[in-house]
Structure formats: C-alpha cells, structure tokens
Amino acid sequence: MFESVKVAVAIAIALSFCTSFTSSLAAEIQGVETENSEHPYQWTHRPILEHFTGLSCPPCMSVAHPDATRLWEEEGYTEGNPWNYIEFHELNGGGEDDLMTDESRDRMKYYQPGVSGTPSLDADGGYVEMGGSHSANAPSANYEEMKSALQDSGERDQIKMVNLKVASIYDGQRFSVRVDIEYIENNENFDPMSMELPDDTLNGRLHIFMVEDHVTAWSTVNDADVTMHNVFREYALEGKDFELQPGESLNEIYADWLVPSTIVRDGIEEPIRVPINPRNVYPVAVVYDMDDTSSSRGDGSGNEDGGDGNDGSPRALNSATPEGTAYDEEASPPSIELEKPTSENGKVKINAVIEDDGGELTAALVIYREASHISNISYNWSYKPMTINGEVCDGDICTIGSGESFAVLNVDDSTEVEYSIVAYDGNWTKGSTDVATVSAMTPEEKKGLPVLLIIGGVILIACVSGFIFWARKPSVATD
C-alpha cells in the first residue's frame, strides 16, 4: 500500500517537473466561483504593451526605446506587476539587429499589414497605438504617450472580466508553462433602447510569449552594447482559440518551450546570435477578445487595419506573468542564500542554503557559463541540478525539503564563472539569485599557483637530473 503511494507521488513530482508537454489546449471547462484579484493601480486588468523596435533604427534608439526602457524600469518591477511589456526587434530600413527573428517581424506585420514602420507600440492589442505606420491620428511613441496609453487601457471597464494565472518551471532544457483562465462576467455596457443584451460568450485567443529580461546586444546607432528588457524570443503557444460563458474556466492549459539554440531569419535557420540566459526568461500570457476591436479615442486611433482579416486586431482582456500570479495568490518564492564557492576535485563547487516556507522544493539548478571579459564574445549557458541536503517525511512519504545545497560544475576551479541559482516550490513559484561572477580560487591562490608550478617544476627537473646523473655513473666493482 505505502509502496504504491510512494510510486504515485514520485510519478506526480516527475511529471510536474520533467514531462515534455505538447503545445496544446489540454484543459477542462468547468464552473468556478472566484473573485477578481485586486490590481496594484486599481485597474480592471493588467494591460500589455507590445513594442516594435530595432537596434539599427535611429528614431527608435533616440526616443522610443530609451523612453520605454525608462517607463518599464520605473514601474515594471514594482510590487504587483501592474502591467506587462514585450519588446519585438525588427530590421526596418536595413541595418542589423541580432535579436530580430521572423516571428517578431510577423507580429509587427499583424498590427501593420501594409507598410510597417518602427518605432511603434500597441497597448492592449491596439486599443491605443503609437508611432509606426498607424493612422495619422496615432500619437507619437514617447514616454508621456506610453504612460497615458497604459492608463487608458488599464481603466477600460467595458470589457469581459477575466482572471488569468500563469506559472512555469525550467528543467535545464525546457520551460513547462501552465495557464488558468477564469471568465468572471461580461462587464460591457449596452444600449437599453436596442432591446439587445450584449453577447456573453467569450470568444478568446491565448498567446504565451517567452521573453528574456536584461538582454545585451550591439546597437549600430549607439555604436555600443545596449541592455534591453523583456525581449521576445519565441512563442510557447501561439494563438490558441477557446470559447467560455460567464462562470466557466479553462484550467491547466499546458505548453512546452525548448530553449532554442537556433533562430529563423528571412526563412533561414541559423545559430542564435545572442545566447539565452534561462535565469531571465519567463512567460507572458495574454488573453484577447476576438469580438472586441474598440479604440481608446473612438476616432480611428486604435488599430482598425490589423488582425487576421485586416479589419481590426482583437483587444487584450488581461495579461499575466509568474511574478504577477504569485502576487495575486500571496505566494512567497523560495529564499536562496549564497555561500562561498569551493573546490572539489579541481572543479568549481557552488554552495547555497535554499529554504521554502511551505517546506517543499520541486527543483533547484545552477545556471552558469565561463565568464568573458571580451565584449563581442559570449558563451552559451549551461545548467547543473543542485543536491539539496534536506528531506521532509510524512510517514513513509518523503519530499524535498530545505537546507544546504550544492552543485559541482564542469568547470576548472581556476576559471571565472558567471552563475545564478533558480529554485521552485511545489506550486512552481520561482526564487532566484542575481548573476554573480566568481572563482573557486581566491586571487591570492591564483597568484600563487604559477609560483607553486614553477617550484614544483624545478624540483621535478632536479629529481630527474639527479636520477640521470646517478644512472650514468660507472659502476665500481668491489672485491
């Protein structure tokens, strides 16, 4: 009996961490009773701001890009994750951008199906659009307009109210993503004279964008490296349509994203130009209402040309990230306290104390690479699962607990290593450390190493020379 329980629990934990989920809508529609989570700004939802830019685009790098970066750094990391942001890179007008892919260009063409231009931004799926080749009434792509667009979008009340949750876990090669959608109510106003109630059915579309924060790449305009936020890498799930009635939900929509080593540019697959650091990668889930193409100003300034049929792109109802979901659910991530790296059998050993209030850790990994001090050289990131010396048992059933943790990397202890630790609890709530550059050997040890080698070499040469001298001495016969 107990053996079967242990096997079942082990399988469940393994599936939750390592199973390769297909990008499909594996969900069950059911009734729910829920409350809408309180927004940090008291808005009706978390708006999504999609930014189309280019590192070789002068107007992008002079105004729109630094303004969007400033706004995100002011508000994007505040508690509660009030809105979400994705940066898509393009090659309008030639030039070069190592972060451009065909998928990012296709997303721009979705909003601008004819002549497209950068910089351009779309808030809540085109409810407010800025810059680019949008209509003449579209505002400019600058800080004040972006801030106003987010507020206009976030305060929308004539929308279908949707609770959206997303969680993800990284197993060293892939991200497994889980999404829950709850359709609460139809909050649309209607004309009482028309004698027609609004259609309660939610014809929704779900996108899961995989983005990477703190990405550094070369800008030909700035003639320098530029660090960017929330750069679109690929879709974990692209355009999954669904239908719900008020009070219904779609639970446990799973998608699987393998961290790519190649990208597709102009239809040609090539090695990825800027290596992906999984520590900074997370999913942005967005639900769009396929029946809503409303505009913020009612004057054509919202996108009326984009979308599948080029008759208006659907508006976003809500967006979510794992951090925002953890805030809504009042979930605390595992805490990680770094300890001094040591050496084991000539390799770097990373040490830490990982603790979780819930007492259960699903996984912990070290994400690392050899440090490079040359600006145009960067190495791909590797990973190593950590051994956690903690175990919590309830009868015959044991789970991973908190405690001393370590991982021995496949790197010589004299090498400088960039690394961070990520850990997940049983609900896939993520804790992580900032990237640190360390070596298992101290500068004094490194400095002394050549001296020791020289001394050792001298002793070895002396011993060999002495042996040779002794061996060549003529033997003396004795009576």
Domain shared by 235 and 260, yes or no: yes
Domain shared by 321 and 346, yes or no: no
Q: Around Cβ 170, how many Cβ atoms within 10 Å?
A: 23
Give the pLDDT score at 195.
43
Domain shared by 228 and 341, yes or no: no
Mean pLDDT of 110-138: 83
Tokens found for residue 62: 């002079």
Domain boundary residue, one of 328, 345, 361: 328
Give domain status of residue 443, yes or no. Answer: no
Give the pLDDT score at 2.
41
Of the pLDDT bands very low, low, confident and very high (cuts 50, 70, 90), residue 113 is confident
Alpha-carbon distances of 106 from 90, 345, 351, rounded to whole Å: 10, 50, 44
Mean pLDDT of 140-163: 92
Of the pLDDT bands very low, low, confident and very high (cuts 50, 70, 90), residue 105 is very high
- Domain span at residue 365 reads 335-438
Closest-CA residue to 79 (of 332, 274, 307, 356): 332
Quick: pLDDT tens for 388-397: 876 555 565 5
Place of tokens 């190593």: 384
Q: Which of 194-208, 388-402, 409-423 reaches the highest mean pLDDT?
A: 409-423
Give domain status of residue 32, yes or no. Answer: yes
Domain boundary residue, one of 304, 328, 352: 328
Give domain status of residue 226, yes or no. Answer: yes
Alpha-carbon distances of 50 from 53, 130, 265, 428, rounded to whole Å: 10, 10, 20, 26
334 DSSP assignment: P
Domain shared by 132 and 175, yes or no: yes
Give the pLDDT score at 305.
53
Give domain status of residue 267, yes or no. Answer: yes
Closest-CA residue to 126 (of 312, 347, 384, 332): 312
362 pLDDT exceeds 80?
A: yes
Alpha-carbon distances of 377 from 26, 197, 223, 257, rounded to whole Å: 41, 61, 16, 26
Domain shared by 255 and 283, yes or no: yes
Distance CA 60, CA 402 (A): 47
Give the pLDDT score at 26.
42
Of the pLDDT bands very low, low, confident and very high (cuts 50, 70, 90), residue 401 is low
DSSP reduced 3-state for 166: strand
Quick: pLDDT tens for 258-290: 999 999 999 999 999 999 999 999 999 999 999
The H or E element that residue 59 is part of is: helix 58-59
Tokens found for residue 451: 């001296």
Give the pLDDT score at 458.
58
Domain shared by 301 and 358, yes or no: no
Give domain status of residue 163, yes or no. Answer: yes
Give domain status of residue 142, yes or no. Answer: yes
Domain shared by 89 and 215, yes or no: yes
Domain count, the chain: 2
Give domain status of residue 462, yes or no. Answer: no
Domain shared by 249 and 107, yes or no: yes
Domain shared by 294 and 392, yes or no: no
Which runs of consecutive H residues, i.e. helices, occur in 76-119? 102-111
Quick: pLDDT tens for 428-461: 999 999 988 877 655 445 444 445 445 656 566 6
Domain shared by 79 and 158, yes or no: yes
| b/e per residue 234-248 (b: at least 16 CB within 10 A) | bbbbbebebebeeeb
Quick: pLDDT tens for 41-99: 899 999 999 999 999 999 999 999 999 999 999 999 999 999 999 999 998 766 889 99
Specify the CATH number for the domain of residue 340. Answer: 2.60.40.10
Q: How many CA atoms lie within 13 A of 152 on its CB side?
A: 23
Pairing between strand 224-228 and 215-219? antiparallel
Domain boundary residue, one of 302, 328, 354: 328
Q: Which residues lie below 8 Å from residue 180, measured CB to CB, with a gap of 6+?
A: 163, 164, 165, 166, 249, 250, 251, 252, 253
Domain shared by 266 and 183, yes or no: yes
Quick: pLDDT tens for 199-248: 689 999 999 999 999 999 999 999 999 999 999 999 999 999 999 999 99
- Mean pLDDT rounded to a whole number for the chain: 81
| Global model pTM greater than 0.95 | no
Alpha-carbon distances of 308 from 126, 305, 456, rounded to whole Å: 13, 9, 72
Give domain status of residue 9, yes or no. Answer: no
Domain shared by 343 and 298, yes or no: no
Give the pLDDT score at 27.
45
Q: Around Cβ 282, how many Cβ atoms within 10 Å?
A: 21
